[in-house]
Chain A
Amino acid sequence: MAYSDKVLDHYENPRNVGTFDKSDEQVGTGMVGAPACGDVMKLQIRVNDAGIIEDARFKTYGCGSAIASSSLVTEWVKGKTLDEALTIRNTQIAEELALPPVKIHCSILAEDAIKAAVEDYKNKHTG
């Protein structure tokens, strides 16, 4: 399968690979997917006191498109508020990376990872 240059770029030079301490109050962690399906994405966001995502990290088990999708969203969420981050749609990810139809699920997973990370952060800060 021929990958787009953008997928290859993110795959070869993934942005923001790594791990934050998930018990940190400022960190929200989202883990989506399942090994049985061939994709697991872990996305972490670090949110400052103003409610802005100031940094992000990911680790992904999956195909090149899954790795590229998660690498891309770590770049996109930075500088956004939580609500702004939640507006990122899988279609935008798929379009940016020129994902073929069989790889659309990778972009869906990346969108889900953002939602899961934001939810985890919000859960830490309510009640």
Chain B
Amino acid sequence: MSTRPIYFDYSATTPVDPRVVEKMIPWLYEHAGNPASRSHAYGWEAEEAVERARDQVAALVNADPREIIWTSGATESNNLAIKGAATFYAERGKHIITAKTEHKAVLDPCRELERQGFEVTYLDVQENGLISMDALKAAIRPDTVLISVMFVNNEIGVIQDVAAIGELCRSKNIIFHVDAAQATGKVAIDLQTLKVDLMSFCAHKTYGPKGIGALYVRRKPRIRIEAQMHGGGHERGFRSGTLATHQIVGMGEAFALAQLEMGTENERIRMLRDRLWAGLSQIEEVYLNGDMEHRVPHNLNVSFNYVEGESLIMAIKELAVSSGSACTSASLEPSYVLRALGRNDELAHSSIRFTIGRFTTEKDIDFAVELLKARVGKLRDMSPLWEMAKEGIDLNSVQWAAH
């Protein structure tokens, strides 16, 4: 491709901020020591850099640096938190609660625990994507040991009521894990106030590098987990493996920038998102997926009724977006998240996720709106469903031959 598409996929990953890149580079060659080396200056300076980064990560979420454990990313953090806590506290009970709209990195560890004899309740969410507190309360059993709920949904950007769920968990003596991969730099997180026991982070959704993440493990009251990676006893035995100094420095710097800039940045991004929605909602039969109020400003997940998501992505190849329809990943299933909202298959197949970030401009937004208006029109001219809808045929009344 001669020109690169405009990036609207910040929830898949973000570019590393150039200021972060600059901080990382010296730790690759100039200062190449192993932070675990206690016998020379190379090790000492690397350890210092790692601890500085730990302070930076802890500061963004108002935690004690001793509560931060480095991992390879949010997937590992989720695995460590869920399997580690469930197995450590298995004597208390073997029931876990999570939601159907969680990331696979939460759902799959839960499935694995089911194979090991745990029972898992996968909660339905409401039409707006939020968990109902009543449904959650009703799902709690005497043997419920762990509840895992994501802070911000990766597909639809909705923000769960982590504060309320935390209060509920604490009152019932249930361990509460939160996947905050999509939340850092987007919502304020105060772990002195939130009753969260375990929280997963990653760097690469917040302008840090891929391959590095962290798990918050509360000290007061103290939460124990069983290590999933055994070796040299790094990270106080919670997670062995040589620390990747440059990655850790990058995550620290990225989180420090997030703390510094998220206020102004989110206002700017909200303005851009509102501009995008104002433009797209002029198109007929366009639906927003997920609650608009309890939502990070970065996300707009939209269904363009009567056009199929994958062909729409092809039609707007000037934009890098992702489809709620997972056709592109060869599974041919529409998004399980949108299905969980009760969206019908057509709307789930017709969805596009736009995620906006630090380097998105107003010009990008205006270009996207004009492009979408033209291309959705073109595809609808080609769509038998659109034709039928325009003729007044109720598509639900048609006998389709499922294939």
Contact = CB atoms under 8 A, between A and B. Distances in A.
A105 interface: yes
Given A35-B385, A61-B383, A67 B345 contact: no
Nearest to B381: A17
Contacts of B395: 35
Given A33-B403, A34-B402, A36-B402, A102 B308 contact: no
Given A14-B382, A17-B382, A38-B325, 10 more contacts: A35-B395, A38-B327, A39-B403, A40-B384, A61-B306, A63-B314, A64-B310, A64-B311, A66-B308, A105-B403
A12 B383 CA distance: 15
A67 B395 CA distance: 20
Q: Which 4 A-B pairs have the closest CB atoms?
A: A34-B400, A36-B345, A42-B384, A63-B310
A59 interface: yes
A3 B315 CA distance: 13
Contact of A64 (B314, B332, B403): B314
Contacts of A40: 384-385, 400
A60 B332 CA distance: 17
A11 interface: yes
B401 interface: yes
B213 interface: no
A37 interface: yes
B332 A62 contact: no
Contacts of A19: 387
Interface in A66-113: 66-67, 102, 105, 108-109, 112
B384 A61 contact: yes
Interface of B: 306-311, 314, 325, 327-328, 330, 332, 334, 344-346, 349, 381-387, 395, 400-403
Contacts of B308: 38-39, 61-63, 66
Given A38-B332, A39-B308, A61-B306, A31 B384 contact: yes
Given A1-B328, A19-B387, A60-B383, A35 B310 contact: no
A19 B388 CA distance: 11
Given A3-B314, A38-B325, A61 B401 contact: no
Contacts of B314: 3, 11, 63-64
A41 interface: yes
A32 interface: yes
Contacts of B330: 102
B383 A59 contact: yes
Nearest to A17: B382
